Chain A
C-alpha cells in the first residue's frame, strides 16, 4: 500500500491540474504523470501485463499522439476562459461533486473485506493467465478487436487525408512567383538575410544588422516573431544581450523577453520607407526558401 499512498496524492493533484492549467501541452504532461502512476498501481495490484501495456499504449502511443496533434494544431492554442453558457462552470463543479458523493456513498455501503489476490488463479504467472482467458473465453472479442483497429486506422486515414484542391506548386512556379514579386513589389529576389549577421551574436533569435545599424526583421524566422522571443541586438552592450530598443532612442529595459520587444523589432526603430518595405517582406510567404 506504500506505493498507493505515495502516488494517490500525486495523481489527484495532477488530475486537478488538468482542470486548471491554461495550456494544452501542460495538461498532456500532467496526464502523463497520472498514467505512469496508474501503471505503477497496476503493478502493485498484481497486474504486470497491464503495467507494461499501460506504459507502452497510454504513455507511449496515446500521449505521443496527443502531443503530435497539439504540435499540428499549435502549441500555444490555449484555452479561452470565457464562459459561453452563463453559470456552466459552477453547475459543472456542482454536478461533479454530486457524482463523487454518489459514488462514494455507494462505495461506503459495501464492505469488500480482505482482497483475495491473484496467486491462486494464475499459478503460471499473470501473463499466462491472461493469455488463457484471452484465447479461450474472450477469443471472439479479441478477434473483433482486430476489425476495430483496422476500422480505426482506415478511418483516421480518411479523416486526416486532405484532397489537393489546386495543382502542386513546383519549384519552377515558386521561382517564377518570386521574380514576379520582385518586379511588382520589390521583395528581395535572393535569400532572406541570415540572422545575426553583423550583430553581437548569431543566434537565430537575433536579427541581422543592416549597414546603417538597424536590425533587419526579415532575417529572423517568422515563428520566433509570432512567439515574441526575438531579441534586439544592441552593439553598445558588451555582454551581447542587448535588449534595448534599436535606433537612437535607446532606453534601459529589464532583461527577458517581452511583447514590447516584438513590437520594437517588428514595428519600431526605422525610417518610414524601410519600415514599409520590411513589413511587406515579413508578410511574404516563404514557400520558395
Chain B
C-alpha cells in the first residue's frame, strides 16, 4: 500500500488557497466559503493520517470538525444576514463599525 503523502500535500495546497481567499476576497460570503475550504483541507489531512496510521481516531476527529463546521456556518450566515439587513452590503469592508 502506498503512502498518503500526496493527500497531505493536496490538503496543504487547499488550505493555502483557502487562507489566501480569506485574505483577498471582500465579499463576506465568499470569505466564509474559503474558511470552509480550509476546514475541508484539514479534514482531508485527518482522514489521510487515519489511513496512514491505521487508526480511526482521525476519522472521528474529522466527523467532529464537520459538526462544528455546520454549527459555525449557521451562526456565521445568520450574522452576515443581520449585517446585510442593517447595512445593505455583504462586503467585509463596510462592516468596519460594529455600532450601527
Contact = CB atoms under 8 A, between A and B. Distances in A.
B80 A73 contact: yes
A18 to B, nearest CB: 6
Given A18-B17, A28-B33, A45-B4, A117 B56 contact: no
Given A70-B29, A103-B12, A62 B70 contact: yes
Nearest to A31: B33
A198 interface: no
A152 interface: yes
Interface size class of B (residues with CB under 8 A): 35 or more
Nearest to A129: B56
Interface string A72-85: 11100111100010
B3 A89 contact: no
Interface string A9-48: 0011001101100001001100100110010011001110
A92 B9 contact: no
Interface string B48-67: 10111111110110111011
Contacts of B60: 130, 133-134, 138
Given A93-B24, A118-B51, A38 B40 contact: yes
Interface string B1-35: 11111111110111111111101111101101110
Contacts of B36: 31, 58, 62
Interface of A: 1, 4-5, 8, 11-12, 15-16, 18-19, 24, 27-28, 31, 34-35, 38, 41-42, 45-47, 49-50, 53-54, 57-58, 61-62, 65-66, 69-70, 72-74, 77-80, 84, 88-89, 92-93, 95-97, 99-100, 103-104, 107, 112-118, 120-122, 126, 129-130, 133-134, 137-138, 141, 145, 148-149, 151-153, 155-156, 159-160, 162
B12 A159 contact: no
B12 A41 contact: no
Given A12-B13, A50-B59, A88-B23, A115 B52 contact: yes
A103 B37 contact: no
B97 interface: no
Contacts of B24: 19, 88-89, 92-93
A175 to B, nearest CB: 28
B95 interface: no
Tell me the interface secondary structure of chain A in the complex: helix
A66 B78 contact: no
A82 B80 CA distance: 21
A117 B66 contact: no
Contact of A18 (B5, B30, B47, B69): B30
B23 A45 contact: no
B98 interface: no
B78 A155 contact: yes
A66 B33 contact: yes
A19 B63 contact: no
B75 A122 contact: no
Nearest to A103: B12
B99 interface: no
A104 B88 CA distance: 41
